[in-house]
Structure 1
Amino acid sequence: MKIEEIDAINYKNGKAKNAKEKVVKDETITLTINGTISRSLSAIEDSLKEFAVGYLFNENMVNSMDAIKKINVDGTQIHAEIDDTLLKTNETVLCSDSAGGWRSKIKTVNPVESDFQVNASELISRIEELKDNAEIWQATGGTHVAGIVYDGQFIVKEDVSRHVAVDKVIGAAAKAGFDLSKCYVCYSGRMPADMLIKVVRVGIPILVSNAAPAGSGYDIAEKGNITMVGFVRGDRFNLYTATERINLDK
């Protein structure tokens, strides 16, 4: 079950009453890589294999599905075996996600080379569709939701962590064989450096959010040639970087 009920007292207009409220059920998930590297974080016990794939890609531990030898999920425990070639580089020692407790200070940001374009109207409609698909959020208000779009296909995942939600959709896209250079990610949440680092590492050219960018995120977007779109609300948005990828005439 992803949703559970808890006891609460509702207070409104000076009156209190006992009630049951729906909340998202999160668990402590542990990902162990090659039996030595371990990461524990709070997440929904759902799409954990996709999360593991996305995490491995986003943390620069693998650069292809072939580098992932095996992923086993046993309840809240995930065990992954990978080719450890990239683990020997300095850029995988620290994690870009908040779960790892550190934000990776990557030494170089390789610009994403992609001529992929999206119509402005599509971005607006996808954010609305994202909210419509956020079933746990609608019931509890306790999740972030992320989606990835490729050639008309739209994969949506939810989690208590915006990082995990994005890991899950990128992992699902990698498993499905999407060309990430022709995808875009849309999600609910701010856009600081740790989120931009994820899309730069996997070569996704466009990141879209209904929330605000941070200065650190703007810097990574500029260096990484990422199109960053924020404050997508109603029929408006702000376009910050690599603006040529968004067709504003349609």
Structure 2
Amino acid sequence: MVEATRGVKAVKITEESKETGWATVPNVMYYDLYVNGERIAELRAMPFALQELAVGYLLANAYVEEPHLIESISVKEDSIEVRADSEFEFRYQYFKEKGIKPIDAVKIEKISSNYQVSRNKIYEKVALAEERAVLSKEIPGTCFALISDNNGYFFIAEDVYSDSAFYKVIGRAASQNFDFRRSMLVLSDVLYPEFVVYSAHLGVPIAGTLRGVPALSIDISETVSGQTIFHLLPSSLIVFSNPQRII
């Protein structure tokens, strides 16, 4: 198994000195994702939590509607091989003939969930994620994704690629029969439009970021998904849409 990080020689240069030493950098790998023998995608990720990565990708991109449809997952050196229920075959062939991905054909229903979370609870959950995000402390640029609810469930995943951190945390939560419809998602990276679409498809009513929100993400939340979108700053919470869910 490839390690998640490795040490490399590096030169640290300051105004006073130039020192040769070691630095820790992430290992990144590319994996072909197969489902029932069909190559679905090429995934890029740090080499850990790869089963969760596959589950999260398949759910978020609407290749499968429920995690129980995934029967087994085998991780190889450069591939992830999934066995899924026969329902996948019908769905996959239908969209393959149309030449589109399932998520592109999904009609996002406007989320009407009355799920709420307090401002203080958001800061509390993010502080817990930052405490547990080991890689993010060691390697600048590594990001985390967290998802939680008001019943004590809390999941976190890390990766140098924000999409892989997102897929991993979705897969991790799904493995515990987590109810996405009453949850909050937070990314330490930018909340790109695709994350809004993926999380809306899963039914997540609240999504936030520590780095920023593009205008298109806000537009999607206001006109299509009905989600609450926010940007968490050290001293304030900026809510861009549907603020009634944050109390």
Same fold (TM over 0.5): yes
Question: How far apart, CA to CA, are the structure 2 residues paired with 1:160 and 1:210?
Answer: 15
Partner of 1:144: 143
Deviations 1:144-168 (A, max 9, x none): 1011113212111101111111111
1:138 is aligned with what amino acid? K
2:70 is aligned with what amino acid? I
> Aligned-pair RMSD on alpha carbons?
2.0
Partner of 2:50: 48
Question: How far apart, CA to CA, are the structure 2 residues paired with 1:119 and 1:105?
Answer: 33
Pair 1:238-2:243 in alignment: no
Query: Are 1:58 and 1:202, in contact at CA under 8 Å, matched by a contact in 2?
Result: yes
Structure 1 position 240, deviation (Å)? 0.9
Distance 1:22 1:235, change over 3 A: same
Question: How far apart, CA to CA, are the structure 2 residues paired with 1:76 and 1:132?
Answer: 31
Question: How far apart, CA to CA, are the structure 2 residues paired with 1:113 and 1:152?
Answer: 23
Query: Are 1:29 and 1:45, in contact at CA under 8 Å, matched by a contact in 2?
Result: no
Partner of 1:19: 21
Q: Write out the 4+ residue segments of structure 1 that deviate beyond 4 Å after TM superposition.
A: 104-107
* Unmatched runs of 5 consecutive residues or more in structure 2: none
Partner of 2:133: 134
Pair 1:93-2:100 in alignment: yes
Report the identity percentage. Answer: 21
Partner of 2:185: 185
Structure 1 position 109, deviation (Å)? 2.5
1:63 is aligned with what amino acid? E
Question: How far apart, CA to CA, are the structure 1 residues paired with 2:117 and 2:238?
Answer: 15
Deviations 1:201-224 (A, max 9, x none): 111111111111111111211210
What are the equivalent positions in structure 2 for 1:1-250 lying under 5 Å apart? 1-82=3-84, 83-87=88-92, 88-89=94-95, 93-94=100-101, 108-150=107-149, 151-222=151-222, 223-230=224-231, 232-247=232-247
- TM-score (norm: length of structure 1): 0.88
Query: Are 1:192 and 1:215, in contact at CA under 8 Å, matched by a contact in 2?
Result: no
Structure 1 position 33, deviation (Å)? 2.1
Deviations 1:112-153 (A, max 9, x none): 231110001111122222211110111111411011113212
Aligned to 1:20, the other structure's residue is in SS state strand
Question: How far apart, CA to CA, are the structure 2 residues paired with 1:199 and 1:85?
Answer: 24
Aligned to 1:173, the other structure's residue is in SS state helix
Structure 1 position 46, deviation (Å)? 0.9
Structure 1 position 93, deviation (Å)? 2.5
Structure 1 position 106, deviation (Å)? 5.2
Structure 1 position 69, deviation (Å)? 2.9
Question: How far apart, CA to CA, are the structure 2 residues paired with 1:105 and 1:216?
Answer: 16
Aligned residues: 238
Structure 1 position 105, deviation (Å)? 5.2
Structure 1 position 190, deviation (Å)? 1.0
Query: Are 1:196 and 1:221, in contact at CA under 8 Å, matched by a contact in 2?
Result: yes
1:81 is aligned with what amino acid? R
1:84 is aligned with what amino acid? E
